[in-house]
């Protein structure tokens, strides 16, 4: 039998046929997918839950005119299993994967909240940045040439060739938002500042170089879409989901995307509510550095990791890249195809437009910033240089 799209009814049949629930059990099922690409079914028998995530052969956000490979479900399930090898505490458990139907059966995380939603609602997740810093340090170190033997790394790299999804990132993060492409989506009131970006030759030169890094730097296994909608949180737990964009890429990419999405949230807040977001940005970086350093010292497999002078250079380059990738992400989430609710759902139009202008200016500043200093207070400094509280009270 070939591929067939599940419905709420057939998802229950599938789950029973595959032994996730016994035949006579009453199982409820709801399609809860709010992402851009897939169906997500939540099944429950009153005691235990199950998630069946199914890839569609096209991008749900656009429709059948944008075909997409079903192989992304295999990539996602494989990435979750690789992550689980190093940091099982930060990913949902995968129970099974069906390549033909492009289904992943996995742990139901409904007791947790999607971090973007929680942050918009004013929740704080005190451990979020500690966990994400540790998650990234472990996964990136152990899948890079620093922590994985080069023969094994080359084989793993070949298993994460992910052309369709990488092309989405190449287009939607690095290309389309920087010129007049049809995929772009923004309020007409922003046209003046959008034109400024599109005419900025220095900016485009920098974006071109970062797109090229994304295309060519196969440094480690990256999640590839680590925004706050790809993370579940509670006060004690953090779970990274949705690595269907996983591929080998630059070490600073996920850090940059995560930080940019935190910055977008900060832009949606009043000044006195922003500290916690800057705390998370700074703590993500400090925990990342602390953990990566420990792994480098204890677990390095590359001969030259013995050289004490090399680690600070590696960390500085990761930071530098993260700053520029954060700039690309801020701009694309504001005027590109896929927006963020943090900015889009600001209720008063004038405040929303101003927050979006700030996002674009901040994105540009991050991209153009030349830093030799890996100090994450930079994000707050650049943010504050752009945002004037007086303007936000319009
Ligand atoms: C067509 S997919 C648009 C965006 O949604 C995903 O979550 C990725 O961020 C992608 O760029
Ligand atoms: Mg996703």
Q: How far apart are CA 72 and CA 287, in angstroms?
A: 30
Which atom belonging to ligand 1 lies closest to the Cα atom of 169? 11
| 300 and 260 within one domain | yes
How close is the Cα of 72 to the center of ligand 1, in Å?
13
Given the structure tokens 């079914």, which residue do they identify?
41
pLDDT of residue 353: 98
Q: How far apart are CA 267 and CA 40, in angstroms?
A: 30
| 314 and 230 within one domain | yes
> Domain of 23: which CATH number?
3.30.200.20
| 280 and 259 within one domain | yes
Residue nearest (by alpha carbon) to ligand 1 atom 2: 36
Please, where are the H alpha helices in the chain? 8-17, 71-86, 115-120, 128-142, 150-159, 163-169, 191-198, 201-216, 253-267, 275-299, 310-335, 341-344, 349-368, 377-386, 389-392
| 171 and 100 within one domain | no
Q: How far apart are CA 42 and CA 27, in angstroms?
A: 10
Mean pLDDT of the chain, nearest integer? 96
Q: Which of 314, 252, 302 is nearest to 146 (CA)?
A: 302
- pTM listed for this prediction: 0.96
Contacts of 34 (CB under 8 A, 6+ apart): none
Residue 394 lies in a domain: no
Which atom belonging to ligand 1 lies closest to the Cα atom of 37? 2
| 306 and 180 within one domain | yes
What integer is the mean pLDDT of 234-251?
A: 98
Residue nearest (by alpha carbon) to ligand 1 atom 3: 338
8-state DSSP, 175? I
Domain stop point among 106, 129, 147: 106
| 44 and 12 within one domain | yes
**pLDDT band for position 62 (cuts 50, 70, 90):** confident
8-state DSSP, 338? S
Asked whether residue 372 carries a pLDDT value surpassing 90, the answer given is no
Residue nearest (by alpha carbon) to ligand 1 atom 7: 36
| 135 and 38 within one domain | no
How close is the Cα of 294 to the center of ligand 2, in Å?
31
Residues with CB under 6 A from ligand 1: 35-37, 59, 61, 168, 172, 225, 337-338
| 263 and 180 within one domain | yes
Instruction: Starting from the CA of residue 76, give the closest ligand.
Output: 2
The pair of structure tokens assigned to 383 is 């943010």
Domain stop point among 82, 106, 130: 106
Sheet holding 231-233, edge to edge: 113-114, 231-233, 238-240
> 238-240 and 231-233: which strand pairing?
antiparallel
Contacts of 196 (CB under 8 A, 6+ apart): none
Percent of the chain with pLDDT over 90: 93
For the chain, the domain total comes to 2
Residue nearest (by alpha carbon) to ligand 1 atom 1: 59
Axis crossing angle, helix 128-142 with helix 71-86, rounded to the nearest 10: 100
SS3 content of the chain, % helix, strand, coil (to 5): 55, 10, 30
Asked whether residue 211 carries a pLDDT value surpassing 50, the answer given is yes
Residue 2 lies in a domain: no
Residue 28 lies in a domain: yes
Backbone dihedral angles phi then psi of residue 240, each to the nearest 5 degrees: -90, 130
Asked whether residue 254 carries a pLDDT value surpassing 80, the answer given is yes
244 annotated as belonging to a binding site for a ligand? yes
98 annotated as belonging to a binding site for a ligand? no
pLDDT tens for each residue of 133-173: 999 999 999 999 999 999 999 999 999 999 999 999 999 99
Tell me the residue range of the domain where 86 lies: 8-106
**pLDDT band for position 120 (cuts 50, 70, 90):** very high
How close is the Cα of 302 to the center of ligand 2, in Å?
33
Asked whether residue 388 carries a pLDDT value surpassing 70, the answer given is no
| 35 and 75 within one domain | yes
Asked whether residue 394 carries a pLDDT value surpassing 50, the answer given is no
pLDDT of residue 393: 43
**pLDDT band for position 77 (cuts 50, 70, 90):** very high
């Amino acid at each position: 039998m070939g591929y067939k799209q599940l419905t709420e009814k057939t998802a229950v049949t599938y789950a029973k046929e595959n032994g996730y629930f016994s035949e006579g059990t009453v199982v409820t099922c709801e399609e809860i997918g709010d992402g851009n690409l897939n169906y997500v079914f939540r099944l429950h028998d009153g005691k235990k839950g199950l998630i069946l995530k199914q890839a569609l052969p096209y991008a749900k956000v656009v429709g059948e005119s944008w075909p997409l490979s079903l192989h992304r479900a295999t990539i996602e399930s494989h990435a979750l299993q690789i992550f689980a090898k190093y940091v099982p505490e930060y990913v949902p458990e995968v129970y099974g994967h069906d390549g033909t139907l492009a289904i992943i059966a996995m742990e139901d995380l409904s007791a947790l909240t999607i971090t973007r939603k929680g942050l918009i609602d004013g929740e704080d997740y005190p451990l979020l940045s500690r966990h994400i810093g540790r998650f990234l340090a472990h996964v990136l170190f152990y899948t890079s040439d620093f922590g994985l033997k080069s023969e094994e790394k080359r084989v793993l790299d070949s298993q994460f060739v992910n052309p369709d999804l990488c092309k989405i990132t190449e287009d939607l993060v690095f290309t389309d938002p920087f010129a007049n492409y049809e995929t772009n989506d923004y309020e007409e009131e922003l046209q003046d500042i959008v034109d400024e970006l599109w005419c900025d030759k220095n900016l485009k030169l920098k974006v071109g170089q970062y797109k090229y890094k994304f295309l060519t730097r196969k440094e480690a296994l990256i999640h590839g879409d680590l925004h706050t909608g790809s993370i579940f949180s509670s006060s004690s737990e953090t779970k990274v989901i949705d690595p269907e964009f996983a591929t080998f890429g630059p070490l600073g990419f996920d850090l940059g995307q995560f930080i940019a999405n935190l910055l977008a949230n900060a832009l949606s807040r009043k000044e006195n509510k922003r500290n916690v977001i800057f705390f998370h940005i700074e703590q993500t970086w400090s925990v990342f550095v602390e953990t990566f350093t420990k792994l480098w010292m204890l677990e390095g497999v590359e001969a030259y990791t013995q050289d004490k002078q090399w680690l600070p250079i590696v960390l500085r380059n990761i930071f530098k890249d993260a700053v520029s990738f954060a700039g690309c992400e801020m701009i694309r989430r504001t005027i590109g195809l896929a927006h963020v609710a943090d900015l889009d759902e600001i209720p008063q139009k004038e405040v929303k437009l101003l927050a979006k202008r700030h996002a674009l200016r901040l994105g540009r500043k991050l991209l153009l910033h030349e830093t030799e200093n890996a100090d994450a207070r930079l994000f707050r400094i650049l943010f504050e240089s752009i945002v004037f509280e007086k303007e936000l009270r319009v």
